[in-house]
A = this chain, B = another copy of it.
Amino acid sequence: MAVATQPTFEAFGAKLTKFGAHDVVYYEGDEAKRLYQLASGTIMLFKLLPDGRRQVVEILRPGDIFGLSAGEEQDCTAETLTEATVREVDLKQVEASVDLQRQLTKCLTNQMNILHEHAVLLGRKSAVERVASFLMYLVPNRGGGVGCVGPDPSKSDDGCDLQLHMTRQEIADYLGLTIETVSRVVSDLKRRGVIRIDRSDKIHLNRICGLCQMTGIH
């Protein structure tokens, strides 16, 4: 039930770097020689097709690691969504330490599971289910990302303010949709009273459980 707390890469000569919002940490194709861990803020990883189509493949949270690649090059571009601080560790450092390795494995496994879930979203879910899943993903303390607390609206399970930190375009590119479809679905959720839109990137969930019912996982 308890969400696994992400380990953090302490000391070990880790260099802390600050980034502004919408800064690029590295580009797809850059040399991959360091390990990064997000210390604070939000970062997205995305890939581009030559004709400009973009897919956001991961949305990183504090504790998540990135920058590793099977080859010599980065397979994604890493761009901040908000101000962010990033720990950098040299790969050699990591390889030498059992402890760092263990933490690394934990992080990678966690992110892998999220990628699996996201593949289901991209491959099998409708537009509404995608947007609902995305919003649920942003709710703090969901039951480990798996589902909602249950269809038991005791009292506190309702209402939640979300700060998206993403444009409609970024959301669309994450969900494999177009900007217009995202906008339509969001408007529709508003019309149905499931959410309230305070500002375009500030959304209030009126009924979390109701939203969770729309994710396709029930």
Contacts and interface: CB of A to CB of B under 8 A. Distances in A.
A209 to B, nearest CB: 16
B116 A45 contact: yes
A53 B122 CA distance: 12
Nearest to A47: B120
Interface stretch (A13-21, A81-89, A101-109, A155-163): A101-109
Contact of A53 (B97, B117, B124, B144): B124
B102 A105 contact: no
Interface string A24-68: 000000000000000000000101011101110110000000001
Contacts of A75: 113, 116-117
Contacts of A109: 68-70, 108
Interface residues of A, number: 51
A111 interface: yes
A86 to B, nearest CB: 18
Nearest to A53: B124
A29 to B, nearest CB: 11
Given A55-B120, A98-B98, A111-B112, A68 B4 contact: no
A76 B123 contact: no
Nearest to A50: B218
Nearest to A106: B70
15 contacts: A53-B124, A55-B119, A55-B123, A68-B105, A68-B109, A71-B144, A75-B116, A95-B98, A97-B98, A101-B101, A101-B102, A108-B112, A112-B112, A122-B176, A123-B176
The 5 closest A-B pairs by CB, nearest first: A123-B176, A101-B101, A122-B122, A70-B110, A55-B120
Given A101-B104, A124-B176, 12 more contacts: A45-B116, A50-B217, A55-B123, A68-B112, A76-B116, A98-B98, A101-B102, A104-B105, A108-B109, A112-B112, A119-B119, A123-B176
